[in-house]
Structure 1
Amino acid sequence: MNIAVFSVTENGRQLSMRVSEVLGAEHRVSRYCFHKHTDDSSAVFWNMGSMVGRLFERSDAFIFVCACGIAVRAAAPYLGTKPDDPAIIVMDDGGRFVIPVLSGHIGGANHLAETLADSLGLTAVITTSDEEDAGFTLEGFAAANDLIICDTKAAKEIAAAVLHDEKIGYFSNYRHSGLPEELTEFGVCRKGICISTNTDDKPFDITVNLVPRNIVLGICCESETALENIENAVKTVLGGTDIRRVREIISAEENAALSSFCEKNDIHLRSYTAEELAGEEASCGKMAEMCSGGKLIIPETISDNVRIAAAEATVFLDFEKKI
């Protein structure tokens, strides 16, 4: 996740450093401090609302160490729809509470809040329904299993059906754990979910298509390769496959343009050194297969002077998994 941490006061600045230490091992954390209370490892802002606006599209989560009202006013102008909005968390600069304000389930705000509470000795104030009591939620299931929700309107229909105890149809060829009581693979259902790579599959009158984000790309290119070349190469190799299905890119070299491409498309980038590759010549296919744990679906191809291969990770749908 790309996480932006904002602080206003000196206490907040110090707390934001601790937040970065806790979350930095698993996420990309950037700190933004008010110009009166900053340090060398943070960016400076004068107007919080303007800075939030600049970061909004490329951030998965915002953590505000300040009054709740300040945070809400800074983020409110940029909010869109529930599935698209980032997680928003507020912490008081006294270091007592951590409160997920927005996207608790699907955006992972609840999980981040609980992680910070456990690591920093704070109290997490969770205001959403208890996940066990709430039963099946499409958003929580999709987030936990790295699935793309393709139709937000249909997703709302499914949410309404769950609230009214209406059985929801389920169709997928992927292996899965036991279905929750809200879903059924049998009988005739008007509304249902379909998990596949083909969004034209519509087994129900109202179908929510969920697409797995399980493609891993191996990419090798020169350090001076331009962003445009990488974009063209990926587009050419993927063909009609949605770029959102790519969850990770593996590379044998550090490359600024590749980093920019991954940040732009919300794709995790993992780099290997020659030593980590045990002195072997970097093979895009080998890297993609190794890191996906699945099978190669596109062998190594050269496009725009970029070597690229794609592998598809095995999908197992776990209805017990929480984000």
Structure 2
Amino acid sequence: MKHAKFVSFTAVGAQTAKKAAALLPDFLTERYARTVDPSLAGTQLSRFAQQAMVDCDLIVFVGAVGIAVRAVAPYLAGKAFDPAVLVIDEAGRFVIPILSGHLGGANALAERLADGLGAQAVITTATDARAAFAVDTWAAAHDCVVVDPENIKYVSGALLRGETVGLRSDFPVEGRLPAQVMLDGTPESGFCIGFDTEAASFAHTLHLVPQVVFLGVGCRKGTDEKTIEAAAQVALDTAGVPWEAVRGIASIDVKQNEPGLLHFCETHGLSLTVFSAETLQSVSGDFTPSDFVARTVGVDNVCERAAVCAAAGGALRCRKRAQNGVTVALAQRDWRADFDEKQLEDKKL
């Protein structure tokens, strides 16, 4: 679940923060009312901002824009790392995204909160103000990682100048392409959707990697994180899959408290999904059987079956690979580069 922190500075602002937080049931929310809660009287706003910039997906300041800007400015890390930051005036009349409008989803969250509060969202990003296609917004809405966010400016800049940008995709493309975006052209700037993050299809190439791969892992009890990491890296290299494409880790439920596996997931910021032996055995497909594994955990294969199960029946991209007591497999769920505008609007909401 995503994490949000609200901070307010007056009694009226605290009430607005309470109303706004209630509009985000899909977030774990914390509210800090600095002039209302005596326990916060001696705390520093700069320390709050420093911690929130690391911990949170969303920070909401209920107060003046200047306060928010001064609080977060020393801790900015870049487009790909900064959380969404919003400002709501204490009366709840305006909701203003000031950071990570596209990649962090601040613009969409501003519109969502404004709708719920009966307020006005104040969107200032150029592509939104001029109703141009925003490639980073599309990427965030379609579970794609932007590998080189510094190249967003070339694609967005070209679109704002009225130029055409290119699109190359290793995945099926569906829906009507946005204005000024073309397949198979040779514009100066463009974006590539796929796993090859080195492809230089355009003079200025932005790489989008769909997070559609699940890594199934089986391991001996007590296997350390580094051993699991090494086996996973071999599987990814073999399949030509970058880490950015990995959406989650899957295994059997008897491994749900395995320290090395949990540390491995934590290091990569990935969730661990576990399945019972019965569930894994029920998955249909052609898997690599092992009598030893069947006798040990009650299912003839863990890594391949877990990966496919997590990928909602997706195809195996890398079959079972065994290394130093670790087995790893990769499965890829079905995914399309969908440019249907209605679906994008639905995902924003």
- What TM-score bracket applies, with the shorter chain setting the length? 0.7 to 0.9
Residues 1:297 and 2:293 are matched in the alignment = no
Give how far 1:305 is off.
5.1
Is 1:121 matched with 2:117? yes
Gaps of 5+ in 1: none
1:212 maps to a residue whose letter is: P
Is residue 221–residue 307 contact of structure 1 (8 Å, CA) maintained in 2?
A: yes
Contact (CA 8 Å) 2:7, 2:34: kept in 1 or not? no
Quick one: which of 163, 178, 187 aligns to 2:160?
A: 163
Q: Are 1:265 and 2:268 matched, yes or no? A: yes
Q: After superposition, what is the alpha-carbon deviation per residue over 1:18-71, rounded to whole angstroms, capped at 9, x for unaligned?
A: 65655353x4x25263688669xxx99922322432343453322334443332
When the two structures are aligned, how many residues end up with a matched partner?
317
Match of 2:196 in 1: 198
What is aligned with 1:209? 207
Q: Structure 1 residue 144 and structure 2 residue 164: aligned?
A: no
**In 1, Cα distance between the equivalents of 2:165 and 2:110?**
31
Greater alpha carbon shift after TM alignment, 49-58 vs 301-310: 301-310
Equivalent residue for 2:287? Answer: none
* Match of residue 247 from structure 1: 247
After TM superposition, the structure 1 stretch with the greater mean CA deviation from structure 2, 286-295 or 157-166, is 286-295
Query: What SS class does the counterpart of residue 201 from structure 2 fall into?
Result: coil
SS in 2 for 1:23: coil
In the alignment, structure 1 residue 23 sits paired with structure 2 residue 21: no
Partners of 1:264 and 1:66 in 2: CA distance: 36
- Equivalent residues in 2 for 1:302-313, closer than 5 Å: 306-313=326-333
Q: Contact 2:215–2:249 at 8 Å: present in 1 too?
A: yes
Cα distance change, pair 200–244 in 1 and its aligned pair in 2 (3 A): closer
Contact 2:145 2:208 in 1 (8 A): yes
- The answer to whether residue 304 in structure 2 is matched with residue 285 in structure 1 is yes
Give the secondary-structure state (helix, strand or coil) at the position aligned to 2:308. helix
Q: In 1, Cα distance between the equivalents of 2:223 and 2:18?
A: 34
Q: Contact conserved, 2:273 with 2:310, CA < 8 A, in 1?
A: no
Alignment TM-score, normalising by the size of structure 2: 0.72
Pick which of 15-24 and 192-201 moved more. 15-24
**Native 8 Å contact 2:189 2:202 kept in 1:** yes
What displacement does 1:189 show?
2.4
Separation in 2 of the partners of 1:200 and 1:224?
37
Provide the residue aligned with 2:57 in structure 1: 60
Superposition CA RMSD, Å: 4.0
The structure where helix makes up a greater share of residues is 2
Evaluate the alpha carbon distance shift between residue 87 and residue 308 of structure 1 in structure 2; reply closer, same or farther with a 3 A threshold: same
**Structure 1 residue 144: deviation in Å?**
2.0
Which structure: larger Rg? 2
Residues 255 and 191 of structure 1: CA distance in aligned 2, closer, same or farther (over 3 Å): same
Q: Is the 8 A contact 2:95 2:110 kept in 1?
A: yes
Q: 1:61 to 1:227 in 2, by over 3 A?
A: farther
> Does 203-212 or 256-265 show the bigger shift?
256-265
Aligned equivalent of 2:72, options 69, 72, 75: 75
**Deviations 1:182-233, CA, capped at 9 Å, x for gaps:** 1122554233222221123223233223222221223456897655555444
Contact 1:215 1:310 in 2 (8 A): yes
- Give the whole-Å Cα distance in 2 for the aligned partners of 1:144 and 1:86: 15
SS in 2 for 1:50: helix
- Residues 46-55 or 136-145, more deviating: 46-55
Q: Is the 8 A contact 1:49 1:75 kept in 2?
A: yes
Change (3 A) 1:131 1:68: closer
Determine the structure 1 residue equivalent to 2:32.
Answer: 33
Match of 1:174 among 144, 147, 171: 171
Please name the residue that 2:101 is paired with.
Answer: 104
Structure-2 change in CA distance of 1:22 and 1:250 (3 Å): farther
- Partner residue in 2 for 1:3: 3
Q: Tell me the SS of whatever aligns to 1:201.
A: coil
* Greater Cα offset, 145-154 or 98-107: 145-154
Matched residue, 1:185: 183
| Alpha carbons of structure 1 residues 199 and 60: separation in structure 2 relative to 1, 3 Å | same
